[in-house]
Structure 1
């Protein structure tokens, strides 16, 4: 399999972490691309022109990190990272959705900040920042103090928090969220997170 990737994308990091948690990183080669440069190979794999995109061994392409992560979890051996059904599955998927929403707002803020100053929307950037703050507070109340084995929801949360450290250190999310900080510390000690730290 081949993964279209970058070294800074938190969505790519989710896939990399899942591969390592499944003990399957050796099954995937990576092609580093810059999505904003619109490489034709990426467009052939994902018409949206976004990463990650995963080319399967039969040539089919999957895109969007939740789809790729669920595919890897259900087709590869190793510990299950997403419950098959029931309330636990919906809780995991809700965590993933909140974390991915933080990432969507963060990435949108970064791209907005790349626009010429007179073309930026301060109102939109403030709205995205407020969405991040509310979502962090939601995750703090949702997770509680007990750390369990990582699942796709916790992996997404860890990648979101790591991205905030990387791109938005001024948010200082740890200051009033001890449960989140404890979960992130436990995740960061795992090989899967150590080996996938974002690199500028």
Structure 2
């Protein structure tokens, strides 16, 4: 299998962390891809018409895409989607993915738009999505994060790491001591250490 990827993508990292945690990392070849909505020529358009990464090329079927679909495909047989708390894990994954979407849109506002077209208000509206989501995790989801490893934990860790990577000047840790402590411990896992974002 081939995973079209970029090392800075939190969605690619989510897949990579899952591969490490489930012992499948050597089964998937990482293929470099890159770009953004206004420059998608280096994206795997033949495998994902949306022009987004990650996309997973399989030997026995068409490519699949969106990190949530890929992670389900690769992780369901390895306990990453536990039946007893499936919808909790999926909701936490969706929350983390939404954090990443908003954080990436903040970057695109400066990378993809001319300076006179940028909106500081729009950027802050995206950041408000992030902070509301982090507050919800701190208030509602710490018991789940403290439980057995599943996709929800992986997704949250990759989202928090991406905020640090691209928006390090914004202090998401303030007033979120439980999430801060959990992330510090989770970041020490070998799968997280092996997938630190670059670029």
CA displacement 1:94-118 (0-9 Å, x = unmatched): 1111111110000011001122210
CA displacement 1:72-113 (0-9 Å, x = unmatched): 0125xxx401123x5x11111111111111100000110011
Structure 2 gaps of 5+ residues are: none
TM-score, structure 1 normalization: 0.92
- The match for 1:100 is 97
> Which stretch of the first structure deviates more once superposed, 161-170 or 175-184?
175-184
> Which stretch of the first structure deviates more once superposed, 54-63 or 25-34?
54-63
Query: How do residues 17-96 of structure 1 correspond to structure 2 at under 5 angstroms?
Result: 17-36=17-36, 37-39=39-41, 42-75=44-77, 79-84=78-83, 88-96=85-93
Is 1:144 the counterpart of 2:142 in the alignment?
yes
Is 1:10 the counterpart of 2:10 in the alignment?
yes
TM-score, structure 2 normalization: 0.92
- The match for 1:182 is 181
Structure 1 gaps of 5+ residues are: none
The verdict on how the C-alpha distance between 1:48 and 1:97 changes in structure 2, with shifts beyond 3 A counting, is same
For the aligned residue pairs, the C-alpha RMSD in angstroms reads 1.6
Instruction: Report if the CA contact (8 A) 1:35-1:51 is conserved.
Output: no
Mapped to 2, the partners of 1:198 and 1:144 lie a distance apart of 25
